[in-house]
């Protein structure tokens, strides 16, 4: 058994985890655990950019209002104001770290200073998307990861997958009386992929930055790592989670048998792209006054409706009316990908379908990223901060990750400076004495496939009470099978991820069944209207303590 002891444990290597690690590393040792290669993250695939107020006619109030409108009545106003107003400082910090964003060009010459080439996406009233072509996430990820790799106080553990958080209770003796306080997190059990060895990572502070939950669904824009690990682990440890019914389906994922999970950025519509059906008819005017620049929930439901009415396999995104050189310069990555599949987007419409994209709910945190388990923080898509409400505004995700990574780092640094910790805890070692190697891996592959299909068919873009009831019955049976399997066989990466997607699927279903209205990303055929009188509130779940 190889144990690791560190001041701070970071689980996840997207922008939130990397920036947090860099900020706290001068104040303590950092172990950064990531389940595959460090570049395998949702951040790396983020195309559009970072929503931030820099335009001459734009204001914080306008960005705040756009965020609130998109969130459909469930955003926390204080959080929205804090995140929006902190945005410019975070962009400037990235530039100081070495990130290069596109600047506005006049007569072919870049304009200096903060004259960013600001894009526009659905739900935004102004151009405010700071971007690096159509590969913003990759640019930010590469810069931060290079800094992490070269930092003397950060130890990067790639191909290490977290299994569960470790919690202990604080016991204080007063005379002859022992008082037990609430649980606190003291690290995690982590499986090393190459050796199949489970390591105990003991830490004073643990940060969850594990990304989203897209792989819970059959069709997703997310990479294979997005199995909701942080949300599942935090829930099992007793942390509060919220609003998991609000799953954002991106309207435009490239529809092609070889494309897998390639996203066509919302910025394409921001630059003039128009959604059309197989006959070439624009249809978004039938659904929203903002047409193709409506919010994602509206556009995704519109496409879903069009596909169900026509029986077609996809709709199309047409940007052929924009000059070809403009398209190629603005979207080099998307253009190259489409061309590799025989689609020239400068003269051919792109076939697109909706796909699971972003989890607006997650582990509940305060404005410093703290969960309700002491010494456990969560940032990025794993967290539910109150920013997104019932529907995330486009390109607010990287913004939130940057702002909360900074806020969490400040809080942790303060704690470290004040010596708020007892000596590093000694959590119990991993115990798998009664388990054996599995000879029935079909259980994993079958349940993995069944969960993703039932979630797509029954808990997707459009829901109903009957579909949700069917999903609940199936997930209850699957959970029983997985739990039995988990406690009898040695853990492997596929089993860890299966256990997590089953947990997240169950939480999504429970939240969706509870909300008897339609709001934002949650649309139920039995309750097609928004009901502010009874349902303008968060959906809260907390696992009951099992003694």
* pLDDT digits 0-9 by tens, 271-289: 999 999 999 999 999 999 9
Catalytic, 470? Answer no
- pLDDT tens-digit map of 372-419: 999 999 999 999 999 999 999 989 999 999 999 999 999 999 988 877
- pLDDT tens-digit map of 471-501: 999 999 999 999 988 888 889 999 999 999 9
CB of 60 closer than 8 Å to CB of 182: no
Tokens for 258?
Answer: 């070889």
Distance CA 329, CA 347 (A): 15
**For position 325, which CATH number holds?**
3.90.700.10
Q: What is the residue-averaged pLDDT of the chain?
A: 90
pLDDT value of position 423: 67
Instruction: Examine the fold and report which residue of 354, 385, 410 is the final residue of a domain before the chain moves on.
Output: 354
Q: Greater confidence, 350 or 42?
A: 350
Residue 130 lies in a domain: no
Residue 418 lies in a domain: no
Length of the chain measured in residues: 547
Residue 40 lies in a domain: no
CB of 395 closer than 8 Å to CB of 265: no
Mean pLDDT, residues 70-77: 97
How many alpha carbons lie under 13 Å from residue 103 in its C-beta half-sphere? 14
Tokens for 503?
Answer: 């947990």
**For position 448, which CATH number holds?**
1.20.58.100
**pLDDT at position 173 over 80:** no
**pLDDT at position 45 over 70:** no
**pLDDT at position 111 over 70:** no
Mean pLDDT, residues 221-238: 94
Q: Dihedral (C-alpha) 89, 94, 95, 101: value to the nearest 10 degrees?
A: -100
Query: For residue 105, what are the contacts with CB-CB under 8 A and spacing of at least 6?
Result: 111, 117
Confidence class of residue 174 from pLDDT cuts 50, 70 and 90? very low
Instruction: Examine the fold and report which residue of 330, 354, 378 is the final residue of a domain before the chain moves on.
Output: 354
Integer angstrom CA distances of residue 62 from 274, 290, 387? 25, 16, 15
Which residues face 201 on adjacent strands? 4, 188
Residue 528 lies in a domain: yes
Q: What is the 3-state secondary structure (H, E, C) of 210-234?
A: CCCCHHHCCCECCCCCCCCHHHHHH
- pLDDT tens-digit map of 517-528: 999 999 999 999
> Above pLDDT 70, what percent of the chain?
91
pLDDT value of position 175: 41
pLDDT value of position 488: 84
How many alpha carbons lie under 13 Å from residue 9 in its C-beta half-sphere? 31
- CA 158, 238, 506: angle at the middle one, nearest 5? 80
Confidence class of residue 255 from pLDDT cuts 50, 70 and 90? very high
Of the residues 269, 296, 463, 467, only one is catalytic, namely: 296
pLDDT value of position 219: 87
Instruction: Examine the fold and report which residue of 354, 375, 409 is the final residue of a domain before the chain moves on.
Output: 354
pTM of the model: 0.90
Residue 164 lies in a domain: no
Tokens for 75?
Answer: 């955003």
Provide the 10 A C-beta neighbour count for residue 196: 12
Residue 259 lies in a domain: yes
Owning domain of residue 257? 253-354
Distance CA 457, CA 480 (A): 21
pLDDT value of position 178: 45
Q: Greater confidence, 44 or 316?
A: 316
Residue 226 lies in a domain: no
Range name among 146-150, 178-182, 349-353, 532-536 with the lowest pLDDT average: 178-182
Number of domains, the chain: 2
> Above pLDDT 90, what percent of the chain?
71
Residue 146 lies in a domain: no
């Amino acid at each position: 058994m190889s144990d690791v002891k560190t001041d701070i444990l970071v689980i996840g290597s997207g922008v939130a985890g990397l920036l947090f690690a860099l900020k706290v590393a001068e104040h303590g040792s950092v172990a950064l655990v990531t389940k595959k290669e460090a570049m395998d993250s949702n951040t790396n695939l983020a195309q559009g950019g970072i929503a931030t107020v820099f335009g001459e006619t734009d204001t914080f109030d306008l960005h705040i209002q756009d965020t609130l409108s998109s969130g459909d009545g469930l955003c926390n106003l204080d959080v929205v104001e804090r995140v929006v107003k902190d945005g410019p400082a975070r962009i400037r910090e990235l530039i100081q770290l070495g990130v290069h964003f596109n600047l506005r060009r006049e007569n072919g010459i870049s304009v200096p200073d903060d004259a960013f080439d600001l894009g526009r996406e659905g739900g935004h009233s102004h151009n405010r998307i700071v971007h690096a072509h159509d590969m913003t996430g990759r640019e930010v990820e590469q810069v931060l990861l290079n800094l992490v790799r070269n930092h003397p106080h950060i130890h990067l553990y790639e191909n290490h997958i977290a299994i569960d958080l470790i919690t202990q209770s604080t016991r204080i003796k007063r005379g002859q009386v022992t008082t037990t306080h609430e649980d606190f997190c003291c690290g995690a059990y982590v499986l090393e992929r190459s050796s199949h060895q489970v390591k105990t990572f003991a830490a004073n502070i643990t940060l969850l930055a594990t990304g989203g939950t897209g792989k819970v669904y059959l069709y997703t824009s997310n990479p294979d790592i997005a199995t909701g690990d942080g949300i599942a682990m935090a829930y099992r440890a007793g942390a509060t989670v919220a609003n998991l019914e609000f799953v954002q389906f991106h309207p435009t994922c490239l529809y092609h048998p070889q494309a897998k999970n390639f996203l066509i950025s919302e910025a394409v519509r921001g630059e003039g792209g128009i959604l059309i059906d197989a006959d070439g008819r624009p249809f978004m005017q039938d659904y929203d006054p903002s047409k193709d620049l409506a919010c994602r929930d509206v556009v995704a439901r519109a496409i879903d409706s069009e596909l169900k009415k026509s029986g077609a396999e996809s709709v199309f995104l047409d940007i052929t009316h924009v000059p070809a050189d403009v398209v190629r310069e603005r979207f080099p990555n998307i253009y190259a990908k489409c061309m590799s599949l025989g689609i020239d987007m400068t003269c051919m419409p792109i076939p697109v379908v909706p796909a699971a994209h972003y989890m607006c709910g997650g582990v509940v945190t305060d404005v410093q990223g703290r969960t309700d388990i002491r010494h456990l923080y969560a940032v990025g898509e794993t967290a539910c901060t109150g920013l997104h409400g019932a529907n995330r505004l486009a390109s607010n995700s990287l913004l939130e990750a940057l702002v909360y990574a900074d806020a969490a780092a400040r809080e942790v640094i303060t704690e470290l400076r004040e010596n708020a910790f007892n000596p590093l805890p000694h959590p119990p070692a991993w115990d798998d004495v009664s388990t054996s190697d599995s000879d029935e891996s079909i259980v994993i592959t079958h349940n993995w496939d069944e969960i993703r299909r039932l979630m797509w068919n029954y808990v997707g873009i459009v829901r109903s009470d009957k579909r949700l009831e069917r999903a609940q019955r199936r997930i209850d049976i699957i959970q029983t099978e997985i739990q039995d399997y988990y406690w009898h066989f040695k853990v492997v990466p596929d089993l860890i991820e299966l256990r997590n997607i089953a947990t997240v699927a169950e939480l999504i279903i429970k939240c969706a069944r509870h909300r008897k209205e339609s709001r934002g990303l949650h649309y139920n055929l039995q309750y097609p209207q928004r009901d502010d009188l009874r349902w303008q509130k968060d959906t809260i779940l907390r696992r009951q303590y099992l003694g």
